Amino acid sequence: MSSVRYAVFGHPVSHSLSPRIHAAFARQTGVSLAYTAIDAAPHEFVGALDRFVGEGGKGANVTLPLKEAAFAICARTSERARRAGAVNTLSWNDGQWHGDNTDGAGLVRDLTGRNGLDLRGRRALMLGAGGAARGVAPALLDAGVSELIVVNRTPERADALIDAMGEPERALSRYWQDLGEIGDFGLIVNATSAARGGGEDFDLPFTLTTPRTLAVDLNYGEAAIPFLAWARAAGCRDAVDGLGMLVEQAAEAFEAWHGARPDSDAVYAALRGKDALLVTAD
């Protein structure tokens, strides 16, 4: 049995596609890999990571709701992880966890590379201020959006995210109840978990959109259906789910761990084709 292990930690995590994605990348590149999904509630996370290291764990992906907790346990972090205050990729080096965040790079690569969309100059709205939002906000600013407005059900979290961006003239928070009065956007990102696990849907005003709006849900599968259906009903030109971002953030992590760049397009196409739930209607 291989002694080098990789895993995705989350809660819940059984739905995660990461084991399939990393196994496919490993087959493509000839890397020998053991990659599993480990369910850990926030209070169990540190203990679960310790056990994982004891069993040969060398690297881990981290998904909801553990990305901010993962940031807190790292001895060293990349600059983009520090800007996000959240970690989705852990590497065990010299007896310490090193943290990175590949979510934002994954999203921008999916939107600009795979989907051929230009983010520059777009006025951007981010719904949500959790770990996923934190991961992608700095990358959207770097990609050249003209403004980034963050709106969150709990406003203090939106304020904290904005403070962490450190660009008060370009990145601002607004209240959820004011969504009808903040104008329209060229990019709207749903970074909430509202539709995950059969959760409550939320109503958004159509005044947020124009016929050129790009709507992006960081979720994929069933959890992306309500927001993308709203975007299409509102007449948005492009509606993209989070499957491409998921594959691209995994490719970044895989390259960092194994030094080989996988063919992410082939894996994306296979996942998109295999599962009807992952197919968007456009």
Contact 84, 134 (CB under 8 A): yes
Q: Indicate the residue among 104 and 130 with the shorter CB distance to ligand ATR.
A: 130
CA angle at residue 39 from 265 to 156, to 5 degrees?
A: 85
Q: Which residue is nearest to ligand ATR (CB)?
A: 130
Amino acid at position 158, single letter: A
Cα(67)–Cα(72) distance, integer angstroms: 9
In whole angstroms, how close is the CB of 126 to ligand ATR at the nearest point? 9
Give the pair of three-digit tokens for residue 91: 């590497």
Q: Who contacts 248 (Cβ-Cβ below 8 Å, separation ≥6)?
A: 102, 105, 106, 107, 109, 110, 113, 114, 264
- Which is catalytic among the residues 5, 22, 58, 67? 67
Q: How far is the CB of 169 from ligand ATR (least distance, A)?
A: 24
Q: Is 274 a catalytic residue?
A: no
What is the smallest separation between the CB atom of 209 and ligand ATR, expressed in angstroms?
A: 18
Instruction: Tell me how far, at minimum, the Cβ of 129 lies from ligand ATR, in Å.
Output: 5
Listed in sequence order, the residues at least 6 apart from 135 whose beta carbon sits closer than 8 Å to its beta carbon are: 67, 84, 86, 88, 101, 103, 104
**Minimum CB distance to ligand ATR, residue 156 (Å):** 8
Q: Which residues bind ligand ATR (CB under 6 A)?
A: 64-65, 67, 128-133, 152-154, 157, 191-194, 199-200, 202
Say how far apart CA 122 and CA 188 lie, in whole Å: 10
The half-sphere exposure of 229 on its side-chain side, counting CA atoms within 13 A, is: 10
Of residues 22 and 67, the one with the C-beta less far from ligand ATR: 67
Nearer to ligand ATR, 34 or 152 (CB): 152
CA dihedral for 165, 166, 167, 169, sign (positive or negative): positive
Bridge partner list, 96: 93
Residues marked active site are found at 67
